[in-house]
């Protein structure tokens, strides 16, 4: 992996992230393909709308179809027919969400499968082994996530456990062709975030993620924490804000020096008949769209907006037609990619190289 910053405007950076399966222009938004598919869109459509890197989830793929199936297929890229870079989330957030089905210790995480109730045990070492078999370009270490607001003691315990796990994950690496990112934790406590960032950097990773945000706090509480983390993390390596966000979140975080993002928002909203636009979100089930024959978003150049009216999309949504989430998902992901291109170009045009 190579990362080069080509322009800066204040703290905001435009860069190039070179990975085994291609180069990604940053700042970049990665569509979420939890189960080796970005819901409702084909791989070639993702390329058409501008996506150059996607996220898969090691936790879910370990459970279904199983690591050995993906490995036998030749790795994730061949299994899902996506030729460009892939990042795998380790499953720390998914374990966090299984509050009634898991037990966390310093050694690792005991949990029951949400699919069939079978028992499993994740350690930092076993997760790295899983990700090496899955074969993404970038693998995330296992971390301990707490919901915000967490007490100082709760956040400190989870953060220090995450640092310990990161060290173990780093020592377990065997693939030189796979980048691994460490994760900064610490809740909404700046001093814990600084401690976590410094300790994680001391271990040494190819890039660094800011985790444990967008899990209960308000945006006004999140942005200062992003500031704190970016002030400590190395300038020469990529910074990734996990699971965030809204278009506002992306703008705010890019301005603070974040390079990479992922979030389920654009695809999840589409499955609930909601389109993202510069004017705000549009719920296409609303009766006001029944006779609206204008484009979904007059400012958008995507095929959905060029070829289909709000009235038609409203009709599809009301009827529960499968084409509705397909068309709206395409638009929402296009919107996110267009936003990232715009932010990148502004940095290049108005910044310094």
Catalytic residue among 249, 259, 262, 297: 262
> Does the CA dihedral 105-106-107-111 come out positive or negative?
positive
| Confidence (pTM) | 0.97
- Band of pLDDT at residue 176, cut at 50, 70 and 90: very high
Query: Please, are residues 1 and 17 in contact by the beta-carbon 8 Å criterion?
Result: yes
Task: Report all structural domains of the chain as residue ranges with CATH numbers, in order of start.
Answer: 2-262 (3.20.20.105), 264-353 (no CATH)
Catalytic residue among 89, 143, 144, 297: 89
Q: Is the pLDDT of residue 91 over 90?
A: no
Q: Is the pLDDT of residue 95 over 90?
A: no
Query: Which of 280, 259, 262 lies closest to 347 in space, CA to CA?
Result: 259
How far apart CA 176 and CA 340 sit, in angstroms, is 30
Active-site annotation holds for 137: no
> Which of residues 340 and 101 earns the better pLDDT score?
340
DSSP letters, 108-177, are -EEEE-TTT--EEEE-HHHHHHHHHHH--SEEEPP----PSSPPHHHHHHHHHHHHHHHHHHHHH---TT
Portion of the chain with pLDDT greater than 70, in percent: 100
State residue 329's pLDDT score: 98
Q: What are phi and psi of 139, to 5 degrees?
A: -115, 140
How far apart CA 51 and CA 202 sit, in angstroms, is 32
State residue 101's pLDDT score: 83
State residue 352's pLDDT score: 79
Q: Inter-axis angle of helices 124-134 and 152-172, to 10 degrees?
A: 50
| Burial class of 260 by CB neighbour count within 10 A (0 to 12, 13 to 18, 19+) | buried
State residue 96's pLDDT score: 72
Mean pLDDT of 248-262: 98
pLDDT tens per residue across span 151-164: 999 999 999 999 99
Active-site annotation holds for 262: yes
Mean pLDDT of 198-207: 98
State residue 353's pLDDT score: 72
């Amino acid at each position: 992996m190579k990362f080069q910053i080509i322009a800066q405007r204040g703290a905001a950076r435009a860069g190039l992230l070179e990975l085994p399966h291609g180069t990604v222009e940053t700042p970049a938004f990665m569509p979420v393909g939890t189960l080796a598919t970005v819901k409702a869109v084909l791989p070639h459509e993702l390329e058409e709308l501008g996506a150059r890197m996607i996220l898969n989830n090691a936790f879910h793929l370990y459970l279904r179809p199983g690591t050995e199936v993906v490995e036998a297929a030749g790795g994730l890229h061949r299994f899902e027919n996506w030729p460009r870079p892939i990042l795998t989330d380790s499953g720390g957030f998914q374990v966090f969400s299984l509050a009634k089905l898991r037990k966390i210790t310093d050694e690792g995480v005991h949990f029951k499968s949400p699919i069939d109730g079978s028992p499993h045990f994740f350690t930092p070492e076993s997760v790295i082994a899983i990700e090496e078999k899955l074969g993404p370009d970038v693998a995330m270490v296992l971390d301990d996530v707490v919901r915000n607001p967490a007490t100082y003691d709760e956040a400190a315990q989870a953060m220090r456990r995450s640092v310990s796990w990161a060290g173990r994950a780093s020592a377990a690496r065997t693939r030189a062709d796979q980048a691994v990112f460490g994760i900064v934790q610490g809740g909404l406590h700046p001093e814990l975030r600084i401690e976590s960032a410094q300790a994680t950097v001391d271990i040494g990773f190819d890039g660094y993620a800011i985790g444990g945000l967008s899990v209960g706090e308000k945006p006004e509480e999140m942005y200062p924490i992003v500031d704190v983390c970016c002030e400590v993390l190395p300038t020469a390596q990529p910074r990734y804000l996990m699971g965030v966000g809204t278009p506002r979140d992306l703008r705010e975080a890019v301005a603070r020096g974040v390079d990479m993002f992922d979030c389920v928002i654009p695809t999840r909203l589409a499955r609930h008949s909601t389109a993202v636009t510069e004017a705000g979100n549009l719920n296409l089930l609303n009766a006001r769209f029944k006779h609206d024959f204008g484009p979904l978003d007059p400012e958008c150049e995507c095929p959905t907006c060029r070829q289909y009216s709000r009235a038609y999309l409203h009709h599809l949504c009301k009827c529960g037609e499968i084409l509705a989430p397909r068309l709206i998902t395409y638009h929402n992901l296009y919107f996110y990619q267009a936003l990232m291109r715009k932010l990148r170009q502004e940095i290049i045009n108005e910044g310094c190289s």
